[in-house]
Structure 1
Amino acid sequence: MDKMKKKIALIGYGVIGKRVADAIALQNDMELVGVCDVISDWRIQTAVKKGYLVYAASDEAKVSMEQVGIPLAGGMGELLDISDLVVDCTPKKVAAKNVETYKARKIKFILQGGEKHETTGHSFSAENNYASGLNRESTRVVSCNTTSILRSLTALKKADLLENARGTLLRRATDPWESHLGGIMNTMVPEKDIPSHQGPDAQSVDPELDVITMAVKVPETLSHMHYWTVKLKKKASKEEVLKAFKTSSRIKLIHYDQGLVSNNTIKELFMDMGRPWGDMYEVALWEDMLKVVGDELFYAYVVDNQAIVIPETIDAIRALTGIETDGNKSISMTNKSLGINQ
């Protein structure tokens, strides 16, 4: 192991975890020292094939993993012993229980957006609050939808254009790989509360944002779609708004009139680009759909729920460990490693 690199442990090798693992492996200043889980099926077997060291999260997991021939490097405690920081990508509420272990061992940790803000006292979005995450003991990378909200509204805020924002979210019913287990069919399910939880979640990162969200779950699994109405601080041209969005390297402007008319066609584009799993780390925002009327802005975009938080997690690792104090430099490094470019 390179002693100069920060040693990162990954707990939970699922939809997000496997992507975070691959992203860590691409970085020059950090090292994936092992992945830890309770599963013994094809998912963790893929980690073995990739050459990642596998650790069992429990005694029961150790038995089941050994029964199917998975080579184990040890248990969760042994993995934490050799790590500088742990990224927890376990299912909702599991991570909150793991926090007690991390705190007892005095190891830095990163949680994902399924956990509550109060669990870490800090929520992270690289382009908004990288500096406040520097050398912290823990943070929470906000959810896919909240990440997209922060990216677009932060770009407008930095350009001094943002007064307030009202958004409607069309949320995918479940992750694609679990489509056979559940989800919804021939119906739509609105979230009961207005605002939906994403607006207040964005304010956990940036309390200054005047944002209200509404959400409805729809019968598809590829991604989320957002529609936004923004009150601008002043009358602005479409060109001024686009210039603001272009300051974010993680907003990709796309064109409806070029055949990118739906989430499935956008997914196909990123598959053709050679992205692993066809992942879209960027917010895909329709440039030719965007409209400005006086001091009102209207736009729509698509969010890849499986991929958008991956670069944020890498940046959060750098912030907490302090290996890069400049947020813009970290974002640039992460973008380069993942093939993100405007």
Structure 2
Amino acid sequence: MATSTKTRVAVNGYGVIGKRVAEAVTRQDDMILAGVCDVTTDWRLHIAAERGYRLFGATPDSAAAMRTAGLAIRGGLDDLLAVSDIIVDCTPKKIAAQNITTYRRQGVKFILQGGEKHEVTGHSFVAEANFASAVGRDATRVVSCNTTSMVRTLTALKQAGLLRKARGTLLRRATDPWESHLGGIMNTLVPEPNIPSHQGPDAQSVDPELDVVTMAVKVPETLGHLHYWSVELTRPVGKDDILDAFRTSSRIALIRMDSGLSALNAVKEWIADLGRPHGDLYEVALWEDMLTVQGNELFYAYMVDNQAIVIPETIDAIRALTGMEKNASASIEKTNKALGIGISPTGRGAGGNAHL
């Protein structure tokens, strides 16, 4: 554990998720950013240096290249681990699994992201669903953006005693916005070849009791993901009962089409106007006026910001693994406050109580 009252957090991989995790760590009053590690020398690392982040090279070659590029490097990955209590690995898919030998050798707890397999850590994490089971563990995996959104919404229904089974269709963004000039798709749709798609079984790695099946298709846009869900309820209820269940989650924002938030780009513009860093939507943005209940069937849709939704989960996972906080609600409240989750344009509490 930390030698001071603050936990020392390292970030390995300073890309789309890594830079957001690093910034979120600096906003917590019980954490300190020990440093960031990467292999690149591009603009991202220069901005990190300007922010005063301690920089480390992931390999000897990358450290040398970073020095040549004018970056002040404090050492390698082992040097970073030596001054850290926990590391959040945000490296590209499959790279993180190769790093865990180093983490275990150094005796540092670690968090992986959803691109890795559940079996690598033996535990997958969503704060509102299974925080307690992560407390004190050596490692966990914060599940993907889509899986995080699924578990949040389905857990709210489950905890209200309303969920029997769920079937969802995911319209997935083609690539990250900043990489759209390098790849992605244009003028086509690409179905994921397997039903169920991988998100359903992934959600069950967090909560094996979920009866959930997903289908997915990749679409030519980069703003975020769009989900459509059909849920069989345990009993016939009214729409207000469903909304009350969703309002129990501080990380579900109920939005309205009739307020102008009728498309993904409008939601992104709304979040940017809130002043969020990078225009990040940490919540699931769920359309309450579209939501429909017919007897014991529920239909709803929501938006997922693939770059942002896992950031608060990662902060909560840090607290759980290190034992800084053993109570899920306390950690979630602390993270929400630090990241501005639950602040509406009117200044009233948003989160699960938003009516936009």
TM-score band, normalised by shorter chain: over 0.9
| Equivalent-residue separation in structure 1 for 2:247 and 2:4 (angstroms) | 38
Q: Give the structure 1 partner of residue 353 of structure 2.
A: none
The answer to whether the aligner puts 1:319 opposite 2:320 as a matched pair is: yes
Distance, in Å, in 1 between the alignment partners of 2:157 and 2:50 is 44
- Cα distance in 2 for residues equivalent to 1:68 and 1:84: 29
In structure 2, stretches of 5+ residues that fail to align are 343-349, 351-356
Aligned to 1:203: 204
1:52-80 deviation digits (Å, cap 9, x = unpaired):
00001111111111111101111111000
1:2 CA displacement? 7.5
Aligned to 1:340: 341
- The yes-or-no answer on 1:302 pairing with 2:303 is yes
Q: Distance in 1 between matches of 2:328 and 2:141?
A: 16
**Structure 1 runs not aligned, ≥5 long:** none
Partner of 2:329: 328
Q: 1:68, 1:106 → 2: CA distance?
A: 32
Match of 2:107 in 1: 106
Could you tell me which residue of structure 2 aligns to residue 275 of structure 1? 276
Offset, 1:100: 1.0
Alignment of 1:183-222 (within 5 A): 183-222=184-223
* Cα displacement (A) at 1:32: 0.5
**Counterparts in 2 of 1:26 and 1:2: CA distance versus 1, 3 Å:** farther
Q: Tell me, in whole angstroms, the C-alpha distance in 2 between the residues paired with 1:211 and 1:68.
A: 49
Kindly provide the amino acid, as one letter, of the partner of residue 4 in structure 1: T
Which residue identity does 2:62 align to in structure 1? A
Residues 18-75 of structure 1: per-residue CA shift (max 9 Å, x gap): 0000000010111101000001010111100111000011111111111111011111
Question: Could you say which residue in structure 2 is the equivalent of 1:290?
Answer: 291
User: Residue in 1 aligned with 2:28?
Assistant: 27
Structure 2 SS opposite 1:13: coil
Q: For 1:159-174, what aligned pairs fall within 5 Å after superposition? A: 159-174=160-175
Which residue matches 2:141? 140
* Number of residue-to-residue matches in the alignment: 342
Identity percentage of aligned residues: 64
- Corresponding residue for 1:37? 38
Cα offsets for 1:74-112 (capped at 9, x unmatched): 111100011110100000001000011111112100000
What amino acid is aligned across from residue 66 of structure 1 in structure 2?
R
Secondary structure of 1:244's partner? helix
2:82 is the counterpart of 1:62: no
Q: Give the Cα separation in 1 of the matches to 2:62 and 2:8.
A: 24
SS of alignment partner, residue 248 of structure 1: coil
DSSP 3-state at the match of 2:231: strand
User: 1:240 is matched with which residue?
Assistant: 241
Amino acid at match of 1:144: C
What is the CA–CA distance in structure 1 between the aligned matches of 2:89 and 2:200, rounded to whole Å?
A: 24
Q: After TM superposition, what 4+ stretches of structure 1 lie above 2 angstroms from structure 2?
A: none
Counterpart CA distance in 2 for 1:200 and 1:323 is 30
CA distance, structure 2, for counterparts of residue 20 and residue 181 of structure 1: 24
What is residue 124 of structure 1 aligned with on the other side?
125
RMSD: 0.8
Find the aligned partners of 2:153 and 2:24 in 1 and give their Cα distance. 23
Counterpart for residue 158 of structure 1:
159
| Cα separation, 2, equivalents of 1:204 and 1:105 | 27
Q: Secondary structure at the match of 1:213?
A: strand
- Superposition pairs of residues 12-23 of structure 1, within 5 angstroms: 12-23=13-24
Q: 2:345 corresponds to which residue?
A: none
Q: Distance between the aligned counterparts of 1:228 and 1:62, measured in 2?
A: 47
Number of the residue aligned with 1:176: 177
SS in structure 2 at match of 1:130: helix
Could you tell me how far 1:153 is from its partner in structure 2? 0.1
1-side partners of 2:72 and 2:289: how far apart? 52
The residue aligned with 2:259 is 258
Task: Determine helix, strand or coil for the equivalent of 1:10.
Answer: strand
- Partner SS, residue 226 of structure 1: strand
CA distance in 2, matches of 1:199, 1:323: 31
Shift of 1:4: 1.2
Taking structure 2 as the reference length, the TM-score comes to: 0.95
The one-character-per-residue Cα deviations of 1:204-255 (angstroms, maximum 9, x if unpaired) are 0000000000000000001000000000000000000000000000000000
Deviations 1:275-296 (A, max 9, x none): 0111000000000000000000
Matching residue of 1:77: 78
Tell me which moved more, 194-203 or 67-76: 67-76
Whole-angstrom distance in 2 between the partners of 1:57 and 1:339: 32
Cα deviation code 1:170-217 (max 9, x no counterpart): 000000000000000000000000000000000000000000000000
What is the aligned partner in structure 2 of residue 227 from structure 1? Answer: 228
Whole-angstrom CA distance in 1 between matches of 2:199 and 2:3: 39
Structure 2 distance, partners of 1:205, 1:66, is 42
Distance in 1 separating the partners of 2:59 and 2:3: 28
Of 297-306 and 73-82, deviating more is 73-82
SS class of match (2:285):
strand
CA distance in 2: counterparts of 1:258 and 1:324, whole angstroms: 38
Counterpart residue number, 2:354: none
Q: Residues of 2 paired with 1:72 and 1:64: CA distance?
A: 10
